[in-house]
Structure 1
Amino acid sequence: MLLKNYKTYDKKPLYLMDGTNSKIDLTVETSDNKQINLADLYFSTNAAAKIEVKNKAQSVSFKLELAPNQYIEQIYSLKADGFELGYDLKFVGLENTLRRQSDVAFHWVNEMKRLEFDLEQSRQKAKINYYLSKGDFEELSGLTAEYQQKRIKETLHWATFNQKFFTTGLIAKNKNFNAAVFATEVKDPKSKTVEKHGEIDLLVGSNDIIAGKGQFSFYFGPNQYYILKKVEAESFSDNVYLGYPVVNWFAKYLVVPLFAFLEGFVSNYGVIIILLSLIIKSMLFPLTYRSYKSMAKMKVINKYLQPRMDAFKEKHRKENGGKEPDMQTTSMHQQELYKKIGQSPFAAVQGCLPMLLQMPILFAMFMFFPSAIELRQQPFLWASDLSVYDHVITFSFNLPFLGNHISIFTLLMSISSIGITMTSNQNTATAGGPNAGMMKVMMYMMPIIFFFVLNSYPSGLSFYYLIQNLITLGQQHLIKRYFVDEEKIEAKISKFEAEQKYKDKATKKKSPFQVRLQEAQEKARQAQQERAEKKNAARNAKMNDKKK
């Protein structure tokens, strides 16, 4: 099965099935308990040796006459567009020839051919997907190289051999596969031509075929979302994996349509990624602005809070024999300080919330780029193919966690991430506490970790993150220079604090927070005293028992 408009990674014609790597057997059981494979029988046809499909669908019929008014017919039909091959199976006048309540079995063995440059990642993507008639999409994991098998004892709608960018599959238009067995394995890990071995066994009742319900279709084509969406089978587009719910909603209804829209105007896919980055960043700018402004405000607030919190803790240690204040006492004192400067105790959370709202889009991109066949064999700058890692820097050996290459786009992305971390540390106050140093180290470690993780991912993904980081650095600079006046925020806090001190001095009354703070401290002191008394009583009782 040749796909005309596609080539393999080494620029050869792309055959999903070439007569040697894949075979489909179709067996029936006769009333005298014989198994007959239709692939072993001779079917005749009146069709021409060559049929060309242009403006309308064409069909070819193959018929096996068994007796007058008794025959098996297989009809193949091909539309003018798309990648479906219709297949109708008819048993006419065979009610007494076939075994009653038996099954017609499709047995499909497929040595999934290597089609992409990155063999290891292609093997991890090669799997079997299937869709149950009740509406559940499931799969046989591609991450497992060892032999795995799954038996299904309920009706199915379709099943596919799903590779990184291409799919072959069989669809029951009447959703009447009544059972199935699926299996995959990497038989020869050293093979450079085969990604994975797979087997699909599907059963359909012979009574259904006799009743005229033998309508099926094969799909041989690309894993392109909008192409799969047109296939007449429920959820067939799920063969393009775009993540879990919420994430895949953003991917399906924002990222994919936006990418397709840009394709209509721009032919260079590197430029499309740049434009996509600019649009997404522009959409998220209100959230970015609020987050950055809130962090800048927290920097000023922490400059006020930290020395006062340190003084409070030092005073508490002096008054309580070097003992640190508990979390409740510390929290209440911190809330009192927030009140004195007229700020919400949740100011820090308000800065993080806009960032969290951006996470689904971030993950949607992470799922979209590795699955985007549109990037396949599309060059940009030094990358020869945006759907795989750029491999300008390669080694003759493998390094742990890195492989035999360094992706330049991923390296630049990691460096820009470190730049964002450095800028963020300069623009926001560093949190205090015993874990502050560790947190700062982790902030710098994360870009390095992502470098190792993304080094073998598609260069298009790393390039997208690189552009996002560069835009982020630019936004941070513009917001700090033109939209956030830290001196104004600091003056406002100082003014509010002075007014609050004047009010406290004039009224000479304790605030509700101060009252609650003192009550909490007193309760804590009493509880501590009670625990000490109980401990002493238990120790004395134990000593008295020993004396007796």
Structure 2
Amino acid sequence: MKDKSLDYNSIIGLFLILFVLTVFTYFFNDKEKEEINEKKNFFKSNEKNFFLKKENVEKKNFSFLENNVLKLKISNVGGGIDEVLLKKYRAYNSLLSYHTKNLFLVKNSSFLYKMSFSNEKDIINTENLLFKSFVFNNEKKGIKILLMRAKSPYGKGFLDYVYTIGKNNQYDIGFYIRTINFFPFKKLISIKIDQKLISLEKDRNWENSYTQAYFSKNSKSIEYLSEKKTEEKYLPGINWFAYKQQFFASIFKPEKILKNIFIKSNNLSSGKFLKKIQFKTLIKKNKDEEFNFSFRFYFGPLDFNLLKKYKNGFENIIPFGWGFLKWINKYFFLIIFQFLEKTNLNYGIIIIFMTIVVKLILSPITYKQYKLSAIMKLIRPEIEKLNKKYENKKDTFKKQKAMMELYKKIGINPMSGCISTLIQVPIFYSLFKFFPTIINLRGKSFLWVEDLTSYDSIFELPFFIPFYGNHVSLLTLLYSLALLIYTKLSNNEKKNPSEIENSPISNMNFILYLMPIMMLLFINSYASALSLYYFVSNVINICFLFFIKKFMLDEKKIIVRIQDKKINDI
């Protein structure tokens, strides 16, 4: 019985072992299958993540780089810059009629950086790659580093985007691209940088006229695409390129000169974007070497002194005007403005003082012009006598010779009036480019003026007047009125009481009175700082007119010298 019981126990034990093994094997296989399936699904999901669609935002996350003046938001999808916030500036808020909104140069993926790698069968577009982020601090160099790494979907290699930013007040960002054991690709690599430029100012149309694509073939000269129409160009090589707005810019400076460039600018007639600017280049490389490339991005203000520090000619994208006007603005008005800016006064007061300083510098020219006008008025009877004496056309040469002798005896040169006018005309027109481009005036108020770089409005019209606009600028009205008064007074000084009212000279005077009306229409939508400057300038001209007549010119003495025909100086 004992043996039988052992046999029964052995049989029962064997069955239990078999049962346990069967159950274990069953569950193990299921678990192994689940693990295998999980790995497959994980691989597939990761493979899909390398080619994420833009609408798939559930897995989208962001990394941040920040210093005192900049804040960058960088997406893990594509590894590109999703937002650029300028901390020290504000965008115009139409609801409050003031600059109160956060100023984003890039927002909601308005900036696109994309590279394309390819071999005979496959193409990798980096805008669809999923990047992982790693943040480092380099205390010695005072920089923050963001490494964005994407795995190749066709191999074991990696693509790295390395962003670096200074910890203080730097507006430029380092951007380094490198491949590590990336899959075999052809010699050509495509790089594309597109940006939709966001409207930031009060007057969209005015702002759009200052928004352009610029590029430099060397550090000394710059070129640009049209600000009014769609334009594209092929360029054999560039040193840097920029997407410029009225007061801000996105500048891209590669480490080496880029060749085979395509650049295009499209105007956007409505919406929150001003223009879409596209840039594309093809880079050649040896087949077996890794790809390494460096950029520096500048996202910041168009500040002349700040841009000049980069020593690449970036400051030349500030539109100070063409030719001689540009030199007047950079080396005359800008220097005076920056000197007065140190007083820390209201910017409207600074413009008034700037006007006074400029008028004082030009006062010798102004005095000569007024003196010539006064003398020409007094000698008009003598000129009329010469005109009657030499009425015959055959005596034209004799008449001119006699007039030149008269001018010489009086001690004047009629051409000096033309020369003084020619000197003042470039100064007059250079200001049209100066005030709308000075970022220091942006958002600065004065009395009823909200922003000195835009028009002031005391009344909105329910309709649009060609050349004038749909608003009434008080500063423009004041300037036009001052110009009208000055024109009237200066004409009275030039006009001889003995003149016949209907003479040709008298009939031509009405043309001068068209100038205030033309200026009223022309600068109504210009920067209010310009109207303020011209208003103060004309008030000073009126004061000069009275001062010179009262204290500096002795008409009786001039008449005596005309009669005596002396050659002494007046």
TM norm structure 1: 0.79
1:181 and 2:259 equivalent? no
Q: Which one-letter code corresponds to 1:214 in the other structure?
A: F
Deviation string for 1:124-179 (max 9, x for gaps)?
A: 222212222485411122123xxx13122310122222111111232213222431
Q: Is the partner of 1:294 in helix, strand or coil?
A: helix
1:129 and 2:214 aligned:
yes
- Aligned partner of 2:342 among 264, 278, 282: 264
1:452 aligns with 2:521: yes
- Work out whether 1:248 is the aligned partner of 2:326: yes
Shift of 1:446: 1.2
Range 459-468 or range 289-298, more displaced:
289-298
CA distance in 2, matches of 1:174, 1:218: 14
Q: CA distance change for structure 1 residues 470 and 73 in 2, over 3 Å: closer, same or farther?
A: same
The structural deviation recorded for 1:357 is 1.6
Residue in structure 2 matching 1:334, options 400, 403, 413: 400
Change (3 A) 1:341 1:46: closer
> Partner residue of 1:12?
101
Greater shift in the superposed pair: 57-66 or 431-440: 431-440
* Residue aligning to 2:484: 418
Tell me which amino acid in the other structure corresponds to 2:105.
Answer: L
Q: CA deviation at 1:69?
A: 9.4
Instruction: Choose between structure 1 and 2: higher helix proportion.
Output: 1
Cα deviation per residue 1:394-451 (whole Å; 9 max; x = unaligned)?
1121122211111111111111111121121122247999752453121111121111
Contact 1:84 1:231 in 2 (8 A): no
1:112 equivalent in alignment to 2:197: yes
Aligned residue type for 1:154: P
What is the alpha-carbon distance in structure 1 between the residues aligned to residue 459 and residue 215 of structure 2?
Answer: 39
Q: Which amino acid aligns with 1:158?
A: W
CA contact (8 A) 2:161 2:177 kept: yes
1:464 aligns with 2:515: no
Amino acid at match of 1:488: K
Contact map agreement 1:172 1:216 (CA 8 A) in 2: yes
- Within 2, Cα distance between the matches of 1:309 and 1:457? 46
**Contact residue 157 and residue 177 of structure 1 kept, 8 A:** no
**Shift in CA distance, 483/371, structure 1 to aligned 2, threshold 3 Å:** same
Whole-Å Cα distance in 2 between the matches of residues 463 and 489 of structure 1?
37
Question: Is this contact kept in 2: 1:185–1:196, CA < 8 A?
Answer: yes
Given the alignment of the two structures, is residue 405 of structure 1 paired with residue 471 of structure 2, yes or no?
yes
Structure 1 spans left out of the alignment, 5+ residues: 317-324, 499-548
**1:63 Cα deviation from its structure 2 partner:** 2.8
Shift of 1:23: 3.2
Structure 2 unaligned regions, length at least 5? 1-83, 94-99
- Tell me the CA shift for residue 61 of structure 1: 1.9
Q: 2:460 aligns with which of 394, 399, 407?
A: 394
Aligned match of 1:2: 85
Q: Secondary structure at the match of 2:132?
A: coil
* Cα distance, 1:16–1:68 mapped onto 2, change above 3 Å: same
Where does 1:65-464 land on structure 2 (aligned, <5 Å)? 65-66=151-152, 70-79=157-166, 80-93=168-181, 97-100=184-187, 102-108=188-194, 110-133=195-218, 135-144=220-229, 148-186=230-268, 189-191=269-271, 193-206=272-285, 214-232=293-311, 234-313=312-391, 316=392, 325=393, 329-340=395-406, 342-343=408-409, 347-429=413-495, 436-437=505-506, 439-464=508-533
Percent identity over the alignment is 26
Is contact 1:338–1:345 with CA below 8 Å preserved after alignment? no
Contact between 1:107 and 1:202, CA under 8 Å: does it hold in 2?
Answer: no
Secondary structure, in 3 states, of the residue corresponding to 1:491? helix
Question: CA–CA distance in 1 between the matches of 2:318 and 2:287?
Answer: 31
Between Structure 1 and Structure 2, how many residues are aligned? Answer: 473
SS at match of 1:281: helix
Equivalent residues of 2:174, 2:295 under 8 A apart:
yes
TM-score (norm 2): 0.76
Cα pair distance change 1:424/1:173, threshold 3 Å: farther
Superposition deviation, residue 59 in structure 1: 1.9
Gap change, CA 1:268 and 1:132, over 3 Å in 2:
same
Against the structure 1 CA distance between its residues 343 and 351, is the aligned structure 2 distance closer, same or farther, given a 3 Å change threshold? farther
* Letter in structure 2 aligned against 1:439: M
CA contact (8 A) 1:25 1:107 kept: yes
Q: Verify the 8 A CA contact 1:104 1:206 in the aligned structure 2.
A: no
C-alpha separation in 2, matches of 1:478 and 1:457: 32
Cα distance change, pair 439–224 in 1 and its aligned pair in 2 (3 A): farther
Map 1:535-546 onto structure 2 (within 5 A).
Answer: none
Distance 1:377 1:440, change over 3 A: same
Task: Give per-residue Cα distances to partners, 1:327-368, cap 9 Å, x unaligned.
Answer: xx3243132144256448982211221222233332322211
SS of 1:292's partner is helix
Matched AA of 2:296: S
| CA distance in structure 2 between the partners assigned to 1:165 and 1:127 by the alignment | 12
Contact 2:157 2:180 in 1 (8 A): yes
Q: CA deviation at 1:250?
A: 1.5
Contact 2:179 2:292 in 1 (8 A): no
1:158 to 1:342, Cα distance in 2 relative to 1, 3 A = closer
2:124 pairs with 1:58: no
- Listed one character per residue, the Cα deviations across residues 290-346 of structure 1 (whole Å, up to 9, x for unaligned) are 222122222222232124313532xx4xxxxxxxx25xx324313214425644898
Q: 2 CA distance for matches of 1:395 and 1:210?
A: 65
Give the conservation status (yes or no) of the 8 Å contact 2:135–2:144: no
Which sits farther off after the overlay, 201-210 or 211-220? 201-210
Within a 5 Å distance, the mapping from 1:522-533 to structure 2 comes to: none
